[in-house]
Chain A
Amino acid sequence: MPVIEAAALRKCYGRDLALHGLDLAVERGAAFGLIGLNGAGKTTFIKLLLSVVRPTSGTVRVLGGSPEEPAVRARIGYLPERLHLPDALKPAQFLSSVARLKGLDAEPSSLSRALERVGLIGDAHRRIGGFSKGMRQRLGLAAALLGSPDLLVLDEPTDGVDPLGRAAIRAILTEERARGATLFLNSHLLSETERVCDRIGILAGGKLLREGTLAELCGEANAWIARFAEPVPEDALLRIGWTRGLSPGTFRCHAADADALSVLLDRARAGGARLVELRPDARTLEEVLSDVVGDA
């Protein structure tokens, strides 16, 4: 059963149409990334998942129920895009409040573990008002993770976080997936989305224009680009199945699996070619987004 099911979902703010009949299903255990330009409707969709806004028409079901139900929302961990935290509180006080509102025990030891997990245990004595944007984001993530939710909805989770912090957040998200949680990620950082998500949806003008695995969206999974050292035995390479690549000195091949790729490389080396670089021949998510939005 899908964790998220949206059918013909529309949302209007006055005369502005934010979502235009969106259909989407996200399976249990998946890591789904929603990408799109500003104003595409990503945050509106997330708010609909949490009943922060109500649909104009269509239906949305989360974890098999309506997000209007507190029991459903109790199984969701949410990190908003711009989390506004009470400045006067200390991090453990904030987490304690969230835990109690989630119906969990707010034991100091479990709150300390939550802070330690996001790297904030050293700042537990400080008031939130003195926290940087990245620290606030990590505290928000700690709050979202309380109670081991079945679904994590994260809106720009690494926004304002330093590179090491991003890596730490990625590690946490990997652990959550291993635990069985479903991830729903909205991020402007396409590289983050590529690294974390196994399925991606592209939203533009309130419509889901493309949805699929990274390989499905970004190109052929079995195409490879190789760069060889000069002098390149061009004729020999072309004879054994390589074709010229777009940039000078690069050659392209198709290999169904690792064995086929090894055979092609062995033949190239036997023909006198010396391999310098090998990479999959796929478009970046940025290129795909640009194409899809441009076509739309």
Chain B
Amino acid sequence: MRPVFVIAGDLLREAAARRWFLGLFAGITLVVLVFGFALRMDVVDGALAATRLFGRPMHTDIRTAESVMSSVFLALAYLVFYGGLAFGVVACADFAPELLAPGRIEHLLSLPVRRWQLLLGTYLGVLGLAVVGSLYGSGAFTLLLSVKSGVWTARPIVAGLLAAATFGAVYAAMLAAAVFVRSAALSAAVGAVIVIFGIIAGEREDLAPLFEEGVSRAAFLAATAPAPRISQLASHAADFAASRPVALAVMLKALVGLGMFAGGCVVVGMWKFERKDF
């Protein structure tokens, strides 16, 4: 398994030197620093008495800090979830096509590495990147808001990890697509389609009645069946971050489905990669 981790580590090292990721981390750091200096929350006896942003008071009713932060963490979780997915689809689209570039893939395949290790290493590298990105993004904002409000929770960070796991499934499809056709644009397009399809699939039970009963509804349900339930997972992540009740069994079912989708895509990618001439 050592080559898998070497490849994953190299991908992380390569990503660290890319403008996309430098920009992401610089952007998160900048926003956190600006809010760190500009946001002031006065909490008295567990209630948010006053909030100032850039020195201007924000007129809100006096509510418990926990209920206010619950709404903030809900919004943060949605932002990290969908923002992270959109960023990941665009920024990670060319990792696999770069790996498969003529002159690079021949060199990699000539090394004592098995093909599946090469692909799995790339996948795990991108997954690691998503975990690091979500931990940094959600962790930095959670820390800032916790310090300011006095409401300490790690739930938004866990919600961020759920977003990273969801991106893992989206990237599995992007990786498999890149193995079939080496194109960053196609890889990004597949990622975007999976996200949109996943949003629809998450609401399939509610949307199904919009289709006429019979063939069209069955076709809709069949078409959305294998897709990861992205919108459902986003809601679970947001609810969890906001300390709202979460239907654990439903979330676990969605996570298992996510894992199966990711695993299936990676296996298809490996199957093609093993048979492909470069």
Contacts and interface: CB of A to CB of B under 8 A. Distances in A.
Interface of A: 13, 47, 50-54, 70-71, 73-74, 76, 78, 80-86, 88-89, 93, 97-98, 100-103, 127, 140, 143, 153
A287 to B, nearest CB: 32
Contacts of A50: 106, 109-110
A100 B6 contact: yes
23 contacts: A47-B106, A47-B277, A47-B278, A51-B109, A52-B110, A52-B278, A53-B278, A70-B113, A71-B112, A80-B110, A82-B102, A83-B104, A83-B107, A84-B107, A86-B14, A86-B98, A88-B14, A88-B17, A89-B13, A89-B14, A100-B2, A101-B6, A153-B110
Nearest to A79: B107
Contacts of A88: 14, 17-18
B112 A73 contact: yes
A85 B105 CA distance: 10
A153 B110 CA distance: 10
Main secondary structure of the interface of A (DSSP, over half): loop
Nearest to B274: A54
B278 A73 contact: no
A16 to B, nearest CB: 12
Contact of A53 (B7, B104, B277): B277
Interface of B: 2-3, 6-7, 10, 13-14, 17-18, 98, 101-114, 277-278
B110 A78 contact: yes
The 10 A-B residue pairs whose C-beta atoms are closest, nearest first, are A88-B17, A84-B103, A70-B112, A84-B104, A74-B112, A78-B110, A53-B277, A82-B103, A50-B110, A101-B111
Contact of A54 (B105, B106, B277): B277
Contact of B17 (A73, A81, A89): A89
Given A73-B112, A88-B18, A80 B103 contact: yes
A101 B110 CA distance: 10
A54 B115 CA distance: 13
Contacts of A84: 101-104, 107
Contacts of B10: 86, 97
B111 A98 contact: yes
Given A89-B14, A103-B112, 13 more contacts: A47-B277, A52-B110, A80-B106, A83-B103, A83-B104, A88-B17, A97-B10, A98-B111, A100-B2, A100-B6, A101-B7, A101-B111, A101-B113
Contacts of B107: 78, 80, 83-84, 140, 143
Contacts of B104: 83-86
A158 to B, nearest CB: 16
Most buried by A among B7, B18, B104, B105: B104
Contacts of B3: 101
A82 B113 CA distance: 20
Contacts of A83: 103-104, 107
B75 to A, nearest CB: 34
A88 B2 CA distance: 23
A256 B112 CA distance: 49
Contacts of B111: 73-74, 98, 101-102
Of residues B104, B109, B112, which shows the largest number of chain A Cβ atoms within 10 Å of its Cβ?
B112
B17 A127 contact: yes
B107 to A, nearest CB: 5
Given A81-B103, A82-B103, A85-B104, A101 B278 contact: no
Nearest to B7: A101
A134 to B, nearest CB: 15
B25 to A, nearest CB: 15
